[in-house]
Structure 1
Amino acid sequence: MNVNLKRLKAERIANGITQDEMASLMGWHSRTPYAKRELGMVPLGANELAKAAEILGYGTDSLSIFFTTNVPDRERNQPA
């Protein structure tokens, strides 16, 4: 499973929150740490995801909306 960063961004935008505001709500002094995580340049930690979700109005029981499941294509993994 991977964090769906596009969903995180979409939820932030849907809530009318800028990256600057999100960074501030996360406790960072500039936009850079948040922007790097949203862009996938820096891994988003579990605690960070939980905090971001809470800011966006989601409880810890709803975190699954921020994940995608990567299932390998069976045909590519079949022996020749």
Structure 2
Amino acid sequence: MKFDLQRLKGERVARGITQAQMARKIGISTNAYWRKENGERDIGMEEFVKILSVLGFEKKQISLFFAKDVHNSEH
């Protein structure tokens, strides 16, 4: 399983939050946030919880942001 980064970006954009604003709210640089949102750097669970909080989600809703890894699923 991995984070659904397209959903993450979509939720951020839908709320009118820029990457710079998100970065500032979670305490990292805009460049670092861009790299994470675009899959160039991993997002840690603690950091992801901060992002969800900024977006207005609760910890229990974190599963909404996981993508099923179809390459590693057993049939």
* TM-score when normalising by structure 1: 0.85
Q: Unpaired runs of 5+ in structure 2?
A: none
Equivalences for residues 1-80 of structure 1 within 5 A = 1-28=1-28, 30-71=29-70, 72=73, 74=75
> What amino acid maps onto 2:66 in structure 1?
F
Q: In structure 1, what residue type is equivalent to 2:3? A: V
Query: Share of identical aligned residues, percent?
Result: 38
Post-superposition CA distance 1:31-64 (Å, at most 9, x none): 1111010011000000011000010000100001
Shift of 1:66: 0.6
Letter in 2 for 1:25: K
Q: How many aligned residue pairs are there?
A: 73
Structure 1 alignment gaps of length 5 or more = 75-80
Looking at structure 1, the residues matched to 14 and 64 of structure 2 have their Cα atoms a distance apart, in angstroms, of 15
Instruction: Tell me by how many angstroms 1:73 deviates.
Output: 6.9
Separation in 2 of the partners of 1:36 and 1:70?
Answer: 21
Taking CA–CA contacts closer than 8 Å with sequence separation of 6 or more, which of the two structures ends up with the larger relative contact order?
2
Q: CA RMSD in A?
A: 1.2
TM-score (norm 2): 0.90
Counterpart CA distance in 1 for 2:11 and 2:74 is 29
In 2, Cα distance between equivalents of 1:35 and 1:52? 13
